[in-house]
Homo-oligomer: A and B are copies of this chain.
Amino acid sequence: MTSSDKNTDNIISDGSYVLVVLNEHKRWVTKVESGKQFHCHKGFIEFDEVIGKPYGIRIFTSKSTAVSIYKPLQIDFLSKISHSSQIIYPKDAGLILLYGDIKPGSRVIETGTGSGGLTSILASYVRPNGHIYSYENREQAFKTSTNNIKKLGLNDAITLKLQDAIEGFDEEDVDAIVLDLASPEEIIPHAYSSLRSSGTVSIFIPTYNQIERTYHELKEYDFGDIICFETIKRELQLKTNAIRPQTRIIGHTGFLIFARKRTKMVQK
């Protein structure tokens, strides 16, 4: 890919998604449509005024308020596609990429799909040669995620399955498995069976109670190098001469357990 290709990529066109930022709290991912407008409480902008311009421009609304028009980051789409309460946070998705060693070329099983938020993050990092196989047993969630993944243009990297993980996975020798569902401990045997040796399992768990059950099942199935941790994200107030942590924060999202598949002991 040459620099001039990049420049072409970087121009807003009809049908592009953009992130419109009014301020820290007011921000929207929206699709550019020629002849239409984007409306917020601070006025509107004509999409035709931004088509052909580079991402990153600032423009005034009809009420003379400046807004910035960015190319959405992959994580900007999370707020758009996840309307349910159960959303993955970027901080946790980043940990799953690194501790699960999910990277370009990885073949990954995920369950459950939910609205497809984590699926979309994983898919964007295994491309172009890797693949995500995502299992979901609730029909409504399957429909929502199918729709979301299509909008994001990630179909080629994702196979969505309306299938209950409790009945096992169709894939074998995958590099990594990600469990983000109510009873992960029940899926451990299937995870063991579908992973390649030395492959990783990454488990997202909201409550303490599940940690012990899941840990026991992982030991039972001969997973090794089992670790569990959480991260607390603390945003800072950026204000001249008054830098300080924010008063109100999200104090908990979930615990993460990581483990690696071992094979039978070599006897001496």
Residues of chain A whose beta carbon lies under 8 Å from any beta carbon of chain B: 1, 3, 6-7, 10, 21, 24, 49-50, 53-60, 64, 66, 68, 70-71, 73-75, 90-91, 93-95, 97-99, 101, 103-105, 107, 121, 124-129, 172-173, 175, 196-200, 206-209, 211-212, 215-216, 224-236, 238, 240-253, 255, 260-268
Contact = CB atoms under 8 A, between A and B. Distances in A.
A73 B60 contact: no
B128 A128 contact: yes
A95 B252 CA distance: 17
Given A7-B196, A57-B265, A68-B225, 7 more contacts: A53-B266, A56-B197, A60-B268, A68-B224, A104-B104, A105-B127, A247-B250
Q: By DSSP majority rule, is chain A's interface helix, strand, loop, or mixed?
A: mixed
Given A173-B6, A251-B234, A125 B101 contact: no
A198 B9 CA distance: 11
A30 B205 CA distance: 33
A233 B49 CA distance: 45
A49 B10 CA distance: 53
Contacts of A225: 21, 68, 70
Contact of A231 (B6, B91, B266): B91
A225 B126 CA distance: 27
A50 to B, nearest CB: 8
Contacts of A124: 103-104
Contacts of A267: 60
A262 B55 CA distance: 8
A8 to B, nearest CB: 11
A68 B99 CA distance: 17
A232 B246 CA distance: 12
Q: Which 4 A-B pairs have the closest CB atoms?
A: A94-B94, A56-B197, A249-B251, A56-B198
A233 to B, nearest CB: 5
Contacts of A211: 208, 236, 238, 243
Contact of A209 (B212, B231, B246): B212
